[in-house]
Amino acid sequence: MIAAVLEKIGERLRVSNIEKPTLLQDEVLVEIIASAINHRDIYISKGEYAAIKTPCVLGSDGAGKIVKVGNPVLNNHLGKEVIINPNNNWGDNENFQSNNYDILGMPTYGTFAQFVKVKVDRVHEKPKHLNFKEAAALPLAGLTAYRAIFTKGKLETGQKVLINGIGGGVAQFAFLFAKAVGAEVFVTSGKTEKLQASKDMGADKGYNYKDENWHKQLNAEVGGVDLVIDSAGGEGFGNLLKIMNPGGRLVTYGGTRGKVTNLSPQILFWKQLNILGTTMGSDEDFKNMLAFVSEKKIKPTVDKVFTLANINKAFDYVNAQRQFGKVVISA
């Protein structure tokens, strides 16, 4: 089968022929119709991720059809249109993942291929209102955003939320989920055109995080927010505390801009703020996210589609932060 293989850290992916996976009894083979890129794939290819094993086929997001099963008892799954839960071994505790936890697409071979094998309990029926490209955009980013917004962030109708860095794949889902429950949603971006696009999608206001006074402007215009969703960290993190209402929650799931150097303990304790970390989501979160997306008929923001043969161009596109939403790989 054709797959995009990361042979060595720092190299481009090599689109080549590799052996089709052989199935264990509890596994199914999914013919990938579309997959999607996450920042995780970029980090792994650059060597900026823990415990990297090569060679490997990256890709945590995928949607397609079940074409083979590891055991005749699973025959009823043949032909099903599915999306894949990229969690492996979350474990029993809803609060955090087990020590055996890993994510599809390193160390296990992932979805940037014609076929992927996964345990049968990792596949879920594709939401009917989504085509394969939209469905492929959903799993990892949708799961992370769902847990950040609801399980951890406890967002409620009418509350104010700021999504920091709206161009990101997870940020886009956080935005769509927050709008779907009737929150007031504010965004930041480093690019004016992304702020405009967010307004077109219904953002209440947008601010450029490169403007050093953006937080003062938000406070003057909005008067503070109840929830902040962040994946940047870095120097800008300190300003996020300044725009939070007393008792507010900040949920962080990433550190794109590195270490936080300017956090004020005084603001944190005086305003009784809560900073919460989150990663991916449990299998329960995944099921709840799928039900929510289906009920609200939420459609992922698919920015651009590349072919598997052109996957390195897709990586460059995301690495240069040109995306507004998800970048999908499809024939």
Ligand X SMILES: NC(=O)c1ccc[n+]([C@@H]2O[C@H](COP(=O)([O-])OP(=O)(O)OC[C@H]3O[C@@H](n4cnc5c(N)ncnc54)[C@H](OP(=O)(O)O)[C@@H]3O)[C@@H](O)[C@H]2O)c1
Phi/psi at 198 (5° precision):
-65, -40
Residue-wise burial string across 125-149, b where 16 or more C-beta atoms lie within 10 A, e elsewhere: ebbeebebbbbbbbbbbbbbbbbbb
Helix (H/G/I), strand (E/B), else coil: 303: strand
Q: Are strands 81-84 and 123-125 parallel, antiparallel or unpaired?
A: antiparallel
**Contact range with ligand X by CB under 6 A, out of 23-31, 123-131, 187-195, 284-292:** 187-195
The window from 61-69, 70-78, 163-171, 212-220 that contacts ligand X (CB under 6 A) reads 163-171
Interatomic CA distance for residues 225 and 242, integer angstroms: 10
Choosing from 231, 239, 301, 330, the residue that interacts with ligand X (CB under 6 A) is 231
Residue 206 makes contact with ligand X by CB under 6 A = no
Question: Of the candidates 3, 5, 83, 166, which one interacts with ligand X according to CB under 6 A?
Answer: 166
Beta bridge partners of residue 276, listed in sequence order: 251
- Binding residue for ligand X, selected from 254, 293, 305, 315, defined by CB under 6 A: 254
DSSP 218-238: HHHHH--EEEEEES--STTHH
* Among the listed residues 318, 328, 329, 330, the single contact to ligand X using CB under 6 A: 318
Q: In the bound complex, what is the minimum distance in angstroms from residue 128's beta carbon to ligand X?
A: 26
How far, in Å, CA of 193 to CA of 205, rounded?
13
Contact segment (CB under 6 A) with ligand X among 52-60, 74-82, 232-240, 242-250 equals: 232-240
**Applying CB under 6 A, which of residues 257, 271, 296, 299 lies at the interface with ligand X?**
257
Q: Is 60 in the site for ligand X (CB under 6 A)?
A: no
**Residue 36: beta bridge partners?**
61, 328
* Binding of ligand X by 275 (CB under 6 A): no
Question: How many angstroms separate the CA atoms of 244 and 159, rounded?
Answer: 12
Binding-site member from 87, 108, 151, 189 for ligand X (CB under 6 A): 189
Q: Which of 21, 59, 105, 168 binds ligand X (CB under 6 A)?
A: 168
Interaction site with ligand X (CB under 6 A): 38-40, 43, 141, 144, 164-171, 188-191, 194, 209, 231-232, 234, 236, 253-257, 279-280, 318, 321, 323
